[in-house]
Structure 1
Amino acid sequence: MYQAASQRYDTMPYRRCGRSGLRLPAVSLGLWHNFGDTTPYETMRAMCRTAFDHGITHFDLADNYGPEPGAAERNFGRILREDFRPYRDELIISTKAGYLMWDGPYGDWGSRKHLLAGLDQSLKRMGLDYVDIFYHHRMDPATPLEETMEALAQAVRSGKALYVGLSNYDGPTLEKAAAILDELHCPFVLCQNRYSMLDRNVEENGLKEAAVQAGRGLITFSPLAQGRLTDRYLHGIPADSRIRTDGRYLKEKDITPELVQKISALNEMAARRGQTLAEMALAWLLAQPAVTSVLIGASRPEQILDNIRAVENTTFTPDEWEEIDRICGAE
């Protein structure tokens, strides 16, 4: 059913998460938009099989991924039972808690009650005894940071998580959190944040630099800026685009003439490099020493294969770095 391990891991680079011993594939698969109940099960199954067959060993989820919340974990749990149970020790499975999941005062944010109850629910949905990485999904301005970090440490002590991570944190909060987790001897290995050519927030809020200084890895989501860093919107909005079929996170008003001009210029540059725009956008992230892995989303197996090709050329000249910054307005 699957390629032999010697073939599976031949072409995918694996990178350490900061100074830890854990390595992730350069390209990881995010089970967000397209692993809810609106996607045919066989399509989800084919995407996971294709990813694993080509060296993607890391599958990233969260309790609220759907639609509906919880659906992605339930669907992935079924795929694990039917296809991946013999390969559990070859997989890195991550999930998160921190966004709204159930009614009442304990259903979201960063309390000990929410995080540990949320992790138990996630394990039940996926049919797992443990996850490899458990994240706090977002900063909580109301809960003491010490409480949230102690809950993550408890998840590891209980054997329900091997490592912990922080998602959507900024640099100053990351520094404080890392110090607390170090005192607790908790294996905090990875930061997950949105990052792309068009979204440089991790550079502006200090997260990227703080992760490097703390010796933690950085895994980036939305590396294609919700599909904007592709050629799909160069000539209008396709009927099968995410804008038309979903509309929750990317809207028609986001595709401005100024954006199309940037995309067109980047697309021309990618063609000179012998890449698609999507490949160049992923390669741009992978060329940065701070980045451990990029999280891709997909709606069909062929997109996964297209994105994996980014690892074949992650070298940029100084002039190319400057040109990308100029086009994106990041100088």
Structure 2
Amino acid sequence: MRKLGQTNYEISPIGLGTWQFSQGSGLIGSYFSTISEKDMDAIVKMSLDGGINWFDTAEAYGKGKSEEALSGALKRLGVEEKDALIATKWWPLLRTAGSISSTIQKRKDALHGRRIDLYQVHQPFSFSSPEKEMKQMASLVKEGHIGAVGVSNFNRDKMDRAIQELKRHGVNLASNQMKYSLLDRRIETNGVLDLAKQNGVTIIAYSPLEQGILTGKFHQNPELVANLSGPRKHMSQFKPQGLAKTMPLIDLLKEIGHSYGVGAGQVALNWLVHFHDQTVVAIPGASKLKHAEDNVKVLGFKLTQDEMKRIDEESRKVAKM
């Protein structure tokens, strides 16, 4: 377990992303197919039993369907609030900061009254400034609606402005959720990671396996690409030349994983949550029970400094920096 930012929350290095619980609803939710309640319950239970104690969802994931599905699974499993922390997000598109407070009850209703431990601004493109958004967030903390404040996809400047505004209200920014993986390391060079370390802010890495690329399954069986739904099959990294480019990294991940009895994906995630000490945590998803099993395996080992250095060097040859 490690601290979430400078809060009193203790979280596992791996959380469960639940975009896939959107039940195919809405534009964003349609990225994934519908998952049965039985399968969702099994995924959540496996995650909890394996040591994962927090779940990331959002208003935008199926217009609240993911929140409803997650809280429904937790209720059916009889899980207490303290054993399953929830992070969700406010969707800012075509809204002002005032919407943060005026819609909080809808978020609480979608979660069937379960506590919101971390509330995040999903994107930095509302009609209001980061300062006005953080003022609203600080009010929600003081009123007891939420436990901590986070942002998502905020660049260094907007993140710094959020940090400073929250401090004026006696609140610390707990997290910034950013795209980060062995194939996308831009936060290391654009100032976001450095600012996070300087201010004790946790980086929550989304897409940590690059849509499955870092598991190596598409390298092993390229025919799987043809069966993909959504836009993934058209992305350059899924094309033959893209797979060939990342093959040396996958081979290294598999080689190192062999000694731990895990696959390339588990090694990639383990690197992510340990390379920067305790600053970075990750939220891989799981649309099948096996995915949840793979996620919890990450908590069962720790790469050596030499192994992390080798992975770092190979990653730099192919990653966006």
SS in 2 for 1:233: helix
Unaligned runs of 5+ in 2: 25-33
1:132, 1:162 within 8 Å by CA — same for their partners in 2? yes
Letter in 2 for 1:277: A
1:63, 1:122 within 8 Å by CA — same for their partners in 2? yes
Alignment of 1:1-331 (within 5 A): 14-37=1-24, 38-66=34-62, 69-85=63-79, 87-100=80-93, 108-109=94-95, 111-128=96-113, 130-140=115-125, 142-234=127-219, 235-238=221-224, 244-248=227-231, 250-254=232-236, 255-273=238-256, 274=258, 275-287=262-274, 288-289=276-277, 291-311=279-299, 312-317=301-306, 319-329=309-319
2:91, 2:123 within 8 Å by CA — same for their partners in 1? yes
Distance 1:329 1:70 in 2: 33
Cα distance, 1:322 vs structure 2: 4.7
2:91, 2:122 within 8 Å by CA — same for their partners in 1? yes
Distance 1:141 1:134 in 2: 16
Large movers: runs of 4+ above 3 Å: 243-246
Deviation string 1:139-173 (CA, Å, 9 cap, x unpaired) is 13641222111111111122110111111111121
Deviation string 1:261-287 (CA, Å, 9 cap, x unpaired) is 233212211222124210121012012
| RMSD (Å), alpha carbons | 2.2
- Bigger helix fraction: 2
Letter in 2 for 1:209: D
SS in 1 for 2:213: coil
Deviation string 1:180-203 (CA, Å, 9 cap, x unpaired) is 101111242111111001112212
Unaligned runs of 5+ in 1: 1-13, 101-107
**TM-score between the two structures when normalised by the length of structure 2:** 0.87
2:52, 2:296 within 8 Å by CA — same for their partners in 1? no
Cα distance, 1:314 vs structure 2: 2.6
Distance 2:124 2:102 in 1: 18
Provide the aligned length of Structure 1 versus Structure 2.
303
Distance 1:158 1:89 in 2: 19
SS in 1 for 2:205: strand
Greater shift after overlay, 215-224 or 125-134? 125-134
Distance 1:180 1:226 in 2: 34
Distance 1:121 1:329 in 2: 39
Distance 1:313 1:303 in 2: 19
Distance 1:225 1:99 in 2: 25
Paired position in structure 2 for 1:8: none
Distance 2:4 2:168 in 1: 19
Percent sequence identity is 24
* Change over 3 Å in CA distance of 1:20–1:162 after alignment to 2: closer
**TM-score between the two structures when normalised by the length of structure 1:** 0.84
Deviation string 1:100-148 (CA, Å, 9 cap, x unpaired) is 5xxxxxxx44x23322233221110111253001001111364122211
2:122, 2:153 within 8 Å by CA — same for their partners in 1? yes
* Change over 3 Å in CA distance of 1:268–1:125 after alignment to 2: same
Greater shift after overlay, 196-205 or 313-322? 313-322
Cα distance, 1:204 vs structure 2: 3.1
Paired position in structure 2 for 1:3: none
